[in-house]
């Protein structure tokens, strides 16, 4: 049996090619047929894709999903690009990225947004009466030029705001012929905050219901904020259907099973640390725990979680192997939240079984999963750091 090993050790992680060849490699104008099996890619692009050339479109078409800002899908200029994507991969699912609790500012001089799709302008106008303010009357901003929306109205969930936002999505879905297959929500939270970048410009404290008790001391405010987010996701589900894919970023889908049961996937930002300081081992274990059947709802026959990386090239392979373990998707990021193509060429095919756990956390803990064309394996030291991250490929493995 001929073995081709692609080892990534914690001390020196680099992207390598291995495996039986990628069946999703694009040919010249040839439709890309994404077969069953792992790993499975997902494109994450945090900016406009309206200037993509045919080569970039073909690379993006190798993914099972594409996440990009929602307003660009609804732009007339996107029609040809989306048509080309769909011609290459008819099964690719398009997810619109949108903030859950915020709206970016638009300047009075609208020349800066000339040519922008009208969805962005309509969204801004729809929420202008629902901004949150501090105890001193300052506009509450989490980050510079990012206005926080108030989930509370008359001491209850702000259902008027929910109806406006979901109605706007529904309107543009109808106008576009249903161009998006779902949304990536950024992000579900258990509390707002003032970042260090805005504290010198925003005075006062956070008091969403205006009762004089600041948010950190007001459990009712927190309960209403969380209830608003669940009702928002539920209303999208009610009005756009069970097959409309919803993927949620933020800590709340990790910890709140009720919210997770409404969603179809979790966006694992900065995996495996997940921006809360998890070790590599704990990040993987959390991912596996959330992908036990029943934690997330299925849409179109599966769940749609994606693991992403913002910490250098080595984490791309970690994301890939982890996604094979959990049965979800991965993306490659190379320093920016922009899609720049693929560098890893690993093909495992269908899984041959579940995850095998060996060893102990106080010595060496190893996770294995067998696939048709090889084995995914991850080992961790007692500290929780990775010791080995590998897809060990065997041509003809299991034949």
Please write the tens of the pLDDT for every residue from 247-297: 999 999 999 999 999 999 999 998 998 888 899 999 999 999 999 999 999
For residue 12, what is the DSSP state?
B
Do 259 and 189 touch, CB atoms closer than 8 A? no
Average pLDDT over residues 90-118: 76
List domains and CATH numbers for the chain. 32-363 (3.20.20)
Average pLDDT over residues 26-36: 60
Please write the tens of the pLDDT for every residue from 147-200: 999 999 999 999 999 999 999 999 999 999 999 999 999 999 999 988 778 777
Average pLDDT over residues 121-140: 91
pLDDT at 6: 35
Whether the per-residue pLDDT at 111 is higher than 70: the answer is no
C-alpha 233/C-alpha 235 separation (Å) is 5
Do 225 and 190 touch, CB atoms closer than 8 A? yes
pLDDT at 19: 39
Least confident range from 104-118, 126-140, 315-329: namely: 104-118
pLDDT at 145: 86
- For the chain, what is the mean pLDDT? 87
Residue in 388, 367, 373 with CA at minimum distance from that of residue 3: 373
pLDDT at 105: 83
Whether the per-residue pLDDT at 204 is higher than 50: the answer is yes
Burial class (CB in 10 A: 0-12, 13-18, 19+), 113: middle
Please write the tens of the pLDDT for every residue from 88-97: 999 999 999 9
Average pLDDT over residues 296-308: 96
Indicate the pLDDT class of residue 107, thresholds 50, 70 and 90. low
What percent of the chain shows pLDDT beyond 70? Answer: 86
Q: Specify the residue for token string 């990012």.
A: 146
Indicate the pLDDT class of residue 79, thresholds 50, 70 and 90. very high
Residue in 309, 288, 303, 270 with CA at minimum distance from that of residue 378: 288
C-alpha distance from residue 33 to each of 17, 55, 88, 89, 347 (Å)? 21, 17, 8, 6, 14
pLDDT at 274: 84
pLDDT at 14: 31
Q: Give me 337's structure tokens.
A: 């939240």
């Amino acid at each position: 049996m001929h073995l081709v090993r692609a080892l990534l050790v914690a001390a020196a992680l680099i992207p390598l090619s291995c495996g039986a060849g990628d069946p999703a490699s694009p040919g010249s104008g040839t439709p890309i047929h994404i077969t069953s099996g792992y790993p499975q890619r997902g494109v994450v692009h945090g900016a406009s894709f309206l200037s993509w050339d045919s080569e970039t479109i073909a690379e993006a078409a190798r993914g099972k999903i594409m996440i990009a800002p929602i307003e660009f899908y609804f732009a007339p200029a996107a029609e040809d690009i989306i048509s080309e994507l769909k011609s290459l991969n008819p099964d690719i699912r398009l997810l619109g990225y949108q903030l859950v609790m915020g709206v970016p500012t638009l300047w009075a001089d609208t020349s800066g947004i000339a040519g922008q799709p009208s969805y962005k302008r309509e969204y801004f106008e729809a929420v202008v009466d629902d901004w949150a303010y501090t105890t001193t009357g300052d506009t509450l901003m989490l980050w510079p030029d990012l206005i926080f929306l108030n989930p509370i109205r008359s001491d209850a969930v702000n259902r008027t705001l929910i109806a406006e936002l979901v109605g706007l999505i529904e309107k543009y879905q109808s106008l576009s012929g249903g161009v998006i297959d779902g949304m990536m929500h950024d992000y579900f939270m258990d509390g707002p905050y003032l970042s260090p970048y805005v504290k010198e410009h925003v005075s006062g404290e956070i008091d969403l219901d205006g009762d004089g008790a600041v948010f950190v001391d007001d459990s009712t405010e927190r309960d209403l904020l969380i209830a608003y987010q669940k009702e928002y996701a539920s209303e999208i589900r009610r009005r756009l259907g069970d097959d409309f894919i919803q993927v949620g970023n933020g800590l709340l889908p990790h910890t709140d099973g009720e919210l997770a049961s409404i969603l179809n996937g979790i966006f694992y930002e900065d995996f495996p640390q997940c921006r809360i300081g998890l070790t590599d081992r704990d990040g993987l274990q959390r991912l596996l725990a959330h992908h036990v059947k029943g934690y997330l709802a299925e849409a179109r026959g599966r769940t749609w979680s994606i693991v992403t990386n913002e910490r250098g090239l080595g984490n791309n392979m970690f994301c890939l192997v982890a996604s094979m373990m959990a049965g979800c998707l991965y993306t490659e990021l190379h320093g920016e939240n922009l899609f720049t193509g693929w560098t890893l060429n690993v093909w495992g095919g269908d899984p041959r079984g579940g995850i095998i756990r060996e060893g102990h956390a106080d010595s060496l803990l190893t996770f294995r999963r067998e696939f048709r064309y090889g084995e995914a394996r991850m080992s961790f030291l007692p500290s929780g750091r990775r010791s080995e991250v590998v897809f060990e490929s065997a041509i003809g493995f299991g034949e």
